[in-house]
Amino acid sequence: MSKKTRLILYMIILLLLLVACNQPQEEPTQPPMDIEVTLDIVEETEAPLQPTDTEVPPTEEDPTLQPPPTEDPSLNLPEERLPLLSPGTKITLREVIMLDNSVGWGVAFAGGGFGHVLKTEDGGITWGDITPPEPLNAGSSWFYPVVNFSDTHHGYVTYPGSDLVWSTADGGLSWRPTRLTYTTMGGALITSFGEDHAWLFQFLDAGMQKVYTALYFTSDGGESWEMLLDPTTGGEHSIQGFDKTGADFYDQSNGILTRFFRGVTPFVNLDLTRDSGSTWQPLEVNPPQSAPDAFDSCACGFYDPDFLGNENMTVKLECQCFLEGGSFTKNYLYSSTDGGENWVIQSIPEGQLNKISASTYYVIGREIYKSTDAGENWDMVKNVNWDGKFSFTDENTALGIAYDPDSDVFALIKTTDGCNSFQIIEPKLIAPLTTR
């Protein structure tokens, strides 16, 4: 192409551009935005995928957006329910159990006699009300709920003076009620194994060393409950006598039950079940060799059952012994590796027993002790002037309640250095974490 021809073409292009610039422009429908564009250049090693007709699976819905389950109308529950606490309400926690380093539950009071079930998701700093919609009982002035969570999602709650048990599978966001055969009169005990199996010991009446107990079992996370033991029926061996202090199952069939015998019988024993609680067999145990007359002269009972499986189990024996002008308490750790046929008995300090691992234990009393060899030896960690009950998440970290009986004051406290020091936490109540 000649220089003259190229010049003519350039002039034509320039003329067309000038004409285009003078044309009216459409107004933008949205204001312009400064967008930084980043190009990700990927070397293509395979042929690009071609679209297919495969159906995209539905996205799992956020459980927090789900409405609460509709109550069974056949239950015919009254309209008036336990109220939820408003954010900012001053609360007094009486019990806390941590399920991991962040999530835990507690029982708190905020004036009146109604115990509320609360939940924390930040290690105890803030708490939200997850109290089930239990109908108000005008005949009762004190409601202390019995609570059990097997993990951060699955839990159970029952109240005194009620024939209901509540279950949740979403951490208390919603609750499902089930009506029981009897009404709880003297409290209850709930223990669980996994997310589906739980046992409810319902205490109905007491007198003459009898604590009449109905035992229920669920294998579907609380959707239905089967009554295994009815106090109105007989049996070769009954657990109807004395106070039940704890129960533990290492699978859905094998469990252990502990009781306090009040010092009125020399027969202080454990109870075992091999059929999920339908029947119980007494397991005779001997008193400690260092206190052979403890069962005759002291008020003794077993506590803190830990059924580890493979016939391994531990329980704590606590004996309140009385002398002229005073009394004293002695605690012992019973350990067995053969299902209770033989026991290793060790004297341990007085207080709440906390098993952190197979070898690391704490005892929380006015003197706090730690053992790193499964209770054989104990080192004193600290002296305190309050009574405490703690929930450990690891060897060094625990959240607990400190109680001063002289001033009748409760405080929420936390340790992060193995009970060498404690921090008082002022719990803050946030919006409820349950849906009504």
CA distance 119 to 126: 8
CA distance 297 to 161: 36
Of 335, 342, 391, nearest in space to 358 by CA: 335
Give pLDDT, residue 47.
Answer: 34
Cβ–Cβ < 8 Å for 254, 275: no
SS3 sequence, 181-249?
A: CCCCCCCEEEEEECCCEEEEEEEEEEECCEEEEEEEEECCCCCCCEEEECCCCCCCCCCCECEEEEEEE
Kindly report the backbone phi and psi dihedral angles of residue 238, in degrees, each rounded to the nearest multiple of 5, phi listed first: -125, 150
CA distance 238 to 281: 8
Give pLDDT, residue 383.
Answer: 97
Give pLDDT, residue 139.
Answer: 66
Cβ–Cβ < 8 Å for 167, 72: no
Return the number of other C-beta atoms located less than 10 Å from residue 147's C-beta.
21
Dihedral angle at the C-alpha atoms of 298, 304, 310, 312, nearest 10 degrees? -40
Q: What is the CA radius of gyration of the chain?
A: 32
Give pLDDT, residue 142.
Answer: 72
Residue with structure tokens 């906390």? 354
Cβ–Cβ < 8 Å for 127, 106: yes
Give pLDDT, residue 181.
Answer: 96
| Three-state secondary-structure class, residue 146 | strand
pLDDT in tens, the chain (436 residues): 544 444 444 444 434 333 344 444 433 333 333 323 222 223 333 333 333 333 434 444 444 445 666 688 889 998 899 999 999 999 999 999 999 999 999 999 998 788 999 999 999 999 999 999 999 876 666 789 999 999 999 999 999 999 999 999 999 999 999 999 999 988 999 999 999 999 999 999 877 788 999 999 999 999 999 999 999 886 556 799 999 999 999 999 999 999 999 998 888 999 999 999 999 999 999 999 999 999 999 999 999 999 998 899 999 999 999 887 788 999 999 999 999 999 999 999 999 999 999 999 999 999 999 999 999 999 999 999 999 999 999 999 999 999 999 999 999 999 999 999 999 999 999 999 999 9
- Domains of the chain, by residue range, sit at 149-229
- From residue 431, alpha-carbon distances to 83, 126, 195, 278, 299 in Å are 13, 10, 27, 42, 45
Give pLDDT, residue 324.
Answer: 77
Name residues whose C-beta falls within 8 Å of residue 214's C-beta, 6 or more positions apart in sequence: 180, 181, 182, 201, 202, 204, 227, 229, 230, 231
Cβ–Cβ < 8 Å for 352, 364: yes
Give pLDDT, residue 434.
Answer: 98
Q: State the pTM of this model.
A: 0.82
CA distance 365 to 363: 6
Give pLDDT, residue 68.
Answer: 61
Give pLDDT, residue 41.
Answer: 27
The amino acid that residue 181 corresponds to is T
Kindly report the backbone phi and psi dihedral angles of residue 401, in degrees, each rounded to the nearest multiple of 5, phi listed first: -115, 125
